[in-house]
Structure formats: structure tokens, C-alpha cells
Amino acid sequence: MSHLDYAALFLMFGIILISLATVWQMYVMLTETYSLNRFQNSPKMLWVAMSLFFSFSLSVYWVCPNARKKGWLFLLLGGGGVVCYGLGMWYKKLAGF
């Protein structure tokens, strides 16, 4: 296999893994944000709302304890996708494109 073949494979797998990470992230956000109801009518709600405004995903993992367990799969899928995509770009550069 040539460098372009490896580049195409790694780019394809990288895009697929990043897409799966996105779908998993949406699933976690839709299923775990119900636990934010415990902050209703609480002074902490201001800080929770501010963190949600700046970084929704990170603050849900910070505030919702059940989401932290599911975050490992997102980290693996997203990290693997970025590594595969980076390898694909590197092989593409080696091929001269």
C-alpha cells in the first residue's frame, strides 16, 4: 500500500470516529442533563448556569456525576479520531500532496 492509501484510510477512520464521538456526546447530553434539576431554587444555580453558558459539555461532565462515567467513551472516540485524522494528514504530506 502506498502513502496515499494509508492517508485515505486514516482520514476515513478519523472522520468516522469523530462522528461517533459527536453522536455519543449528544446522547450523553440528552440523557444526563435531567440531573441539573437538583440545583433548582438553589444559590448554586447561578454558577451552574454560568458554566453551562461558557462550555456546555465540560460543565455537564463536571456537574452531572453519571455523565462522568460516560465521558470516557467520548474521550476515547474523539482522541482516536483526532489521532487517525492527524496520521492521515501526515501520510498525505509524505506522499507529496
- Min mean pLDDT across 5-9, 43-47, 72-76, 89-93 is at 43-47
pLDDT of residue 83: 97
| Mean predicted confidence (pLDDT) in 23-41 | 83
Cβ(90)–Cβ(23) under 8 Å?
no
Q: Which residues contact 52 (CB under 8 A, 6 or more apart)?
A: 59, 60
Cβ(67)–Cβ(32) under 8 Å?
yes
Q: How many domains does the chain have?
A: 1
Q: Nearest Cα to 74, choosing from 4, 12, 27, 7? A: 27
Average pLDDT, the chain: 88
pLDDT in tens, 39-70: 788 888 888 878 877 887 778 888 888 888 88
Q: How far is CA 84 from CA 11, 36, 60, in A?
A: 6, 35, 27
What domain range is 29 assigned to?
Answer: 3-95
Question: What number of helices (H) and strands (E) belong to the chain?
Answer: 4, 0
Q: d(Cα 96, Cα 64) in Å, to the nearest integer?
A: 47
pTM of the model: 0.78
